[in-house]
Structure 1
Amino acid sequence: MPHIVVEYTPNLGHLPFQDMLAAVTRRLAASPEIGDEADLKARVLRAEAFRVGLADEGRGFIHVTLRILAGRSPQAKKDLSQRVLAGMREHMPSLPAALTAYLSVEVVDMDRESYGKVRLG
């Protein structure tokens, strides 16, 4: 915990996702809500099939899901969300004029009672 899952559309595949993940994890690690930076686990997933509204082309999205253990205040969740947005935007290049993209962040509570974790090695 936390798990950071970035989903993106193939027309945004040129983005510097490694740099974005580095910025996001750095910003989250600075939050008082994060106890151990090694708990931050981030990955990027490409959405092969997608649609944005009614348009057949020219649109894309990046959606970041931040999964955290339940119990944080709404203010803490808002702060984490803002840190993710800032980290993603830190390395966001300009997009081609023919492309509109949407960046969103969702903070999701994980059930503390059922979550399990073991450190290997």
Structure 2
Amino acid sequence: MPHFSIEYSANLDAKVDMGELCALVLRTVLDTGLFETGAVRVRAFRTDAYAVADRLPENAFLDMSFRIGIGRSAEEKKRTGEAVFAAVSGHLAALFATPHFALSLEIREIDPVLSWKKNAIHPRLRGK
């Protein structure tokens, strides 16, 4: 049930291959061993309307939100966040060479009582 969303300012289009970034995040999340392959979803959303800091046109942001089901310890969640943040920070290192980029990540647990799911991918990947 892990859903990873990336929201980014439109001025990053020419600087970041979002498909490649999504693949990196997927690999990193799966490498933690805490999430089932068939459950992980990573997607990116371009934001056309935004205002960042002092509104210089070169200012850019990339905000990551990771919604996960309950059942992982605080240490596991922290380890996952640190792994993803390090991988993405490394991938975007060139953007940090200028004083115009902001990166953020938040992990949130989903309330199981208020979450409904139906997944046809699981049976295929589980070999059933």
What is the SS of the residue equivalent to 2:94?
Answer: coil
Equivalent residue number for residue 112 of structure 1: 112
Equivalent residue number for residue 126 of structure 2: none
* Residue 81 of structure 2 corresponds to residue 81 of structure 1: yes
* Residue 27 of structure 2 corresponds to residue 26 of structure 1: yes
Equivalent residue number for residue 6 of structure 1: 6
What is the SS of the residue equivalent to 1:119?
Answer: coil
The percent identity for this pair of structures is 27
After superposition, the Cα gap between the structure-2 partners of 1:47 and 1:27, relative to the gap in structure 1 and judged at 3 Å, is same
CA distance in structure 2 between the aligned counterparts of 1:26 and 1:47, rounded to whole angstroms: 24
AA of the residue aligned to 2:44: V
After superposition, the Cα gap between the structure-2 partners of 1:23 and 1:96, relative to the gap in structure 1 and judged at 3 Å, is closer
Q: 69-78 vs 8-17, which deviates more?
A: 69-78
Structure 1 residue runs without a partner (length 5+): none
After superposition, the Cα gap between the structure-2 partners of 1:98 and 1:75, relative to the gap in structure 1 and judged at 3 Å, is closer
Write 1 or 2 for the structure with the bigger share of helix. 2
> Stretches of 4+ moved more than 4 A in 1?
96-99
Equivalent residue number for residue 46 of structure 2: 46
CA distance in structure 2 between the aligned counterparts of 1:84 and 1:39, rounded to whole angstroms: 17
TM-superposed CA distance for 1:98, in Å, is 6.3
Contact 2:63/2:105 (<8 A) preserved: yes
TM-superposed CA distance for 1:86, in Å, is 2.6
CA distance in structure 2 between the aligned counterparts of 1:98 and 1:81, rounded to whole angstroms: 24
Equivalent residue number for residue 68 of structure 1: 68
